[in-house]
Amino acid sequence: SAVISQKPSRDICQRGTSLTIQCQVDSQVTMMFWYRQQPGQSLTLIATANQGSEATYESGFVIDKFPISRPNLTFSTLTVSNLSPEDSSIYLCSVMLGTEAFFGQGTRLTVV
Amino acid sequence: AQSVSQHNHHVILSEAASLELGCNYSYGGTVNLFWYVQYPGQHLQLLLKYFSGDPLVKGIKGFEAEFIKSKFSFNLRKPSVQWSDTAEYFCAVNSGTYKYIFGTGTRLKVLA
């Protein structure tokens, strides 16, 4: 199994600012994934972060809004930039070991 | 495009009642199917999964799910729920890659 720690667990941010979310895994993994869960909706994949290369973004998500870093095989950050109330969501970090996905506890972001 | 539908958004049951949560997916090829559970304040965790073979799969905590290919369904069942089953349940699909498609989740509340 994998243990994933996400920080912060929650935050309230002013519109126009940015929030950086950290994700630490207790084992080395090739790919790390960032999801968004908007209120009342399903988890949606934002991007896949590979160590040593640029993240791969899903349709509807762009690097300028969601820059991602992946400096090593156990750590990644997701920044949500130029915040607006529509960005209020839960953001989750995930890894896959074999065929099973493991998730962090999520970061609950509220934009005011 | 792949999609996953969970028909019940909120379910309230008394202890010892039977549970069935519906999940339907749309995808024409081979899929892997999952149910994840998120207990209050905890990570998403895998409840059970189906890749191939016996379409009736058993998971943790007495849960089971049946894959019915002709109906594109993967319903979750438990014969007798407990108060500790109060959680949010997510059905998910992937087609053998790392990309998961999640349903919108079902919030289950079990009354003691």
Question: pLDDT tens digits, residue range B81-106?
Answer: 999 999 999 999 988 777 889 999 99
Nearest CA in chain A to B34: A100
How do beta strands A75-80 and A31-37 pair? Answer: unpaired
Residues 6+ apart with CB under 8 A from A6: A21, A22, A23, A24, A92, A93, A104, A105, A106, A107
Q: Which of A21, A15, A40, A46 is nearest to A112 (CA)?
A: A15
> What three-state secondary structure class fits A31?
strand
Q: Mean per-residue pLDDT for B3-29?
A: 93
**Rounded to 5 degrees, what are φ and ψ at B50?**
-130, 130
| pLDDT band, residue A15 (cuts 50/70/90) | very high
Q: If you average pLDDT over residues A21-34, what whole number do you get?
A: 95
Residue B19, amino acid: L
| Nearest CB to B104; choose among A41, A104, A106 | A41
Question: Would you call A103 and B51 a contact, using CB atoms and an 8 Å cutoff?
Answer: no
- Max CA-CA distance within chain A? 40
CB contact under 8 A, B43 and A104: yes
A43 to B43: CB separation less than 8 angstroms, yes or no: no
pLDDT higher than threshold 80 for residue A22: yes
Pairwise CA distance, residues B5 & B91, whole Å: 8
Specify the DSSP class assigned to residue A11: E
| pLDDT single digits (tens) A45-59 | 999 998 888 899 999
